[in-house]
A and B are shown apart, each in its own frame.
Chain A
Amino acid sequence: EKWDMPMAYSGSNFHSVTGAEFAKCVTTGTQGEIEIVTHPSGSLFPGGQIKRAIQTGQVPIGERLLSGHQNENAIFGVDSVPFLATSFDDADKLWSAAKPTLEKVLADQNLTLLYSVPWPPQGLYFRDEVNSVADMEGIKFRSYNNATARLAELTGMLPVTIEAAEISQAFATGVADSMVSSGATGYDRKVWESLNHFYEVDSWLPRNYIMVNSDVWSGVSDGNKAVVQACAGLAEYAGTWRAVQYTDFTLKGLRDGGMNVAPASDQLKGELQQIGETMTAEWLEAAGPDGAAIVEAFKASKAE
């Protein structure tokens, strides 16, 4: 049986590489009974359509940045609450805390979660030096969803909507002067041609999730299920390892490109932490008791 697996990011991206290895592992492990074929670069479905495509059985399996769907259910944005989990370790703990709830929410949508790999931590890009929230006043900030627009609002910046494809041009022509994104995005888009500062504030680590259609999943034999799950475990481990490696690599790349890459000043860090608390509270309001339970479990596991 052939499983087409749409993925949104380019073939050389580490998520796509991890997905390709997962596909190979499943194909070999099930001796071809399940043959997974990955379709990177959004060549089958673009990112925004992948979840629905799996849900409705248009494809059996696929990868999606779930926080893209937080308008639909705030729980999907759990990995993107600013300054809640700010390191790979924290992100891992948050993922463990959120996993049962996410599985439940996705199960209601006919989706079975297989594995999840984080993106490198999100930092702040600026054209000019910024040492405090006051310095951000009025800067044109690229927002791409409600959470990033809210972040701009709370820091006094001006959110402007720029499509991913137009990022480089928007910075080159001054349509925008800053954004929040991982070092990887800046490296891929070569933003050092226009922007000069990257602050490693590690505001959050969004995750990609690999999901399979539950009807398809229930038709898989127990033996093959075990193979797929084992491959998923391997992929999650390998993908996370790659994310860590890639973070160092891209930050070095930004430096080599001529950007000033450094942690934020203590003042800025403190101020951002406060904004993070505001945004966590707002998220909790939207996510209800499920969200509260996740954050509680996360904080408990951090205290251990």
Chain B
Amino acid sequence: MEDFSIIILFLFVLFLLLGTGVWVGLALMGVAWVGMELFTSRPVGDVMITTIWTASSSWTLTALPLFIWMGEILYRTRLSEDMFKGLAPWMAGLPGGLVHTNIVGCTVFAAVSGSSAATLTTVGKMSIPELRRREYPEPMIIGTLAGAATLGLMIPPSLTLIVYGVTINESISKLFFAGILPGLVLASMFMAYVAISSRVSKKWNPAQEPPMTLGQRIANSRFLLPVICLIMVVIGSMYLGYATATEAAAFGVIGGLVLAASQGSLTWQTFTESLMGATRTSAMIALILAGAAFLSLSMGFTGLPRGLADLIAQWELSKFQLLMVLLVFYIVLGMFLDGISSVVLTMAVVEPMVRQAGIDLIWFGIFIVVVVEMAQITPPIGFNLFVLQGMTNHEMGFIARAAFPMFLIMVVMVFVLILFPEIATWLPENLRQAPGGG
């Protein structure tokens, strides 16, 4: 069976290159090269450059460095401390304490950013130093961050939902509405997990926050105003029609610079440091994206993802069985591919299967986002793991283990979605814009 040998070969080369420590983007290119050389007769080098040029020069990609830059600016100003000062009094009383700022911070920032990596970078740069200073358990800090940052894909705007909507011709605005409630539900599940494990865990012994009266808490919330203003500007620019999702990122950078200047924390040094930092981080992500683009093209040529999907189609499953098989299928695929590639590569075969089973395609979009979110935190190729590795110097294995409970929560989320599909479908059905509205 040719498929089987392709799988083994891809896996072997991938583990060899990644495992010995070749840089991820270059390793992906190497794997893709081997796959194409062995299984196709096409000119590999030309195909590689065409694909990487297309992937690297994309207009929609420009939102990524800008949102990262915004995160760098916020990190280098007092804004990050302020956000903490504002959120902390409210979170400190909850079981689990300030770890909740990770989740709430990601949820709020997800409403600005369409990508998981940008959410992770911004919130992580703010929260990691603060949480460490208060001696929260490291795996908890890293794990919740890795998990909650994936909300950037679920809560609109979302790059994954845009790609899905375009691929299957569904309304993107409907998909955006569909993502809101599941995003909030998933965030509360993360928070519930934090609360419970803080009560159960013996290692849980963070520094206590000084007690505060309600008045003090409300007074302290003024520290949140700058961040909230920034988010309102970014979201407002999008929803009031001043900017597209990509352009809104520019509002983020300028808003960040203005806020930093108004606080007096904008110097030539912080400006250049934030700029160079953002340049390097986005270059790091761009190299991996380039490798991923070439790998998914190579897999497209070998026909592997489609072959697997075809195989599933032949089994003639019930609706629930089909969803379970697809869940496993996308989890496995998500270990090796980035989410957007696995959607694009498989949808041609999965879409008719799903339609035939009578599954609502808006609902299925949210299902897909949850599995793509899982892919972000599963090794060996999980984007959030890479980004966190870059930020914290932790080993990949440590981060993946820390994020594993979040992965399980997302699996639970799939079943919640199956049991209560209205979480995804109610809002788009009832918030349908009046013709001409908006």
Contacts and interface: CB of A to CB of B under 8 A. Distances in A.
Contacts of A52: 50
Interface string A152-171: 00000000001111101111
A282 interface: no
A58 B47 contact: yes
A3 to B, nearest CB: 10
Q: How large is the interface on B (under 10, 10 to 19, 20 to 34, 35 or more residues)?
A: 35 or more
Interface in A192-216: 192-196
Contacts of A259: 435
Nearest to B243: A175
Interface in A33-58: 37, 39-46, 48-49, 52-53, 56-58
Given A10-B167, A166-B245, A169-B244, A58 B173 contact: no
Interface stretch (B19-27, B100-108, B269-277, B340-348): B340-348
A41 B344 contact: yes
Contacts of B344: 41-43
A170 B54 CA distance: 23
Interface stretch (B119-127, B297-305, B395-403): B297-305
Contacts of B352: 11-12
Interface string A182-193: 000000111011
A43 B50 contact: no
Contact of B245 (A128, A169, A258): A169
Given A37-B303, A188-B169, A193 B345 contact: no
Interface stretch (B72-80, B234-242, B319-327): B234-242
Contact of A189 (B40, B163, B169): B169
Contacts, number: 124
Interface residues of A, number: 46
Interface in A109-168: 127-128, 162-166, 168
A58 B50 contact: yes
A41 B167 contact: yes
Contact of A44 (B238, B243, B300, B351): B300
A44 B406 CA distance: 33
B301 A44 contact: yes
B43 interface: yes
Contact of B244 (A4, A40, A44, A162): A162
Contacts of B43: 56-58
B310 to A, nearest CB: 12
Of B47, B59, B243, B244, most buried by chain A (CB within 10 Å of CB) is: B244
Interface of B: 40, 42-43, 46-47, 50-51, 54, 59-60, 162-163, 165-174, 176, 238-241, 243-246, 297, 300-301, 303, 344-345, 347-348, 351-352, 432-433, 435-438
17 contacts: A10-B168, A11-B351, A12-B169, A43-B300, A43-B344, A44-B300, A45-B51, A49-B50, A56-B43, A56-B46, A56-B50, A163-B244, A174-B438, A175-B241, A189-B169, A194-B433, A196-B435
Interface of A: 4, 10-12, 37, 39-46, 48-49, 52-53, 56-59, 127-128, 162-166, 168-175, 188-190, 192-196, 258-259
